[in-house]
Homo-oligomer: A and B are copies of this chain.
């Protein structure tokens, strides 16, 4: 199905499931909307931390149509989250009632892009085989702060077969707009992860440590986490796994 048609289903609330595997081959993006007064510092945070926060599009105040999708950002994602003062208030399928003209929206690259490239190279991804959400962790890796936006990096983990490690690094390095090369390989404790089998987000899948090695990538949850740290009066994001499907081919 073409992204435009699929987004119409979300707009009309005929569907509202995860976008994982939907409109294969089209770029999907994380969304974060904030009042305009936060826009400079948030963009600067993204610039200083481009691995977790690869900006693929920005909608200035008053704009609701991205440059990379013929979509309405207020209605065309399957599910949203509304945070107030850094606390989740509710999930919703439509932002029409809360939207303000002064919101600035950031669209950030997502690991779906590099996972697809890994799939195509025949590299085995356990969380996909097990149909689980990739495990994600808070780390002790500091992000460079920008104004009120500060905090540690969130990473995602994929246990990669040792003989596929080099190829995995090579492939993901080719996607700077989708988190790029890994930020850490091996011992989770070295980056402050002490409950490896109990991730902060997503699900852990046990693996054979003789065969596979844990590989960590900067994760698009980082800017949400950092955004909430700043406790803006309102912040709107996509619901996890419910991304914007763009019109751009991957």
Residue positions of A touching B, CB distance < 8 A: 36, 39-41, 43-44, 47, 55, 58, 60, 104, 146-147
Collect the chain B residues with CB atoms within 8 Å of residue A40's CB. 36, 39-40, 43, 104
Q: Contact check, B47 vs A60: say whether CB atoms are below 8 A apart.
A: no
Q: Contact check, A47 vs B44: say whether CB atoms are below 8 A apart.
A: no
Q: Across chains A and B, which 4 residue pairs bring their CB atoms closest together, nearest first?
A: A40-B40, A39-B40, A43-B43, A44-B58
Task: Work out how many copies of this chain go into the complex.
Answer: 2
Collect the chain B residues with CB atoms within 8 Å of residue A44's CB. 43, 58, 60
Please list 7 pairs of residues, one from A and one from B, whose beta carbons are closer than 8 Å in the complex, sorted by A's number.
Answer: A40-B43, A40-B104, A41-B60, A43-B43, A44-B58, A44-B60, A47-B58
Q: Contact check, B41 vs A47: say whether CB atoms are below 8 A apart.
A: no
Collect the chain B residues with CB atoms within 8 Å of residue A104's CB. 40
A38 to chain B, nearest CB (A): 9
Instruction: Report the separation of the CA atoms of residues A43 and B45 in the bound assembly, to the nearest whole angstrom.
Output: 11
**Which B residue's beta carbon lies closest to that of A60?**
B147
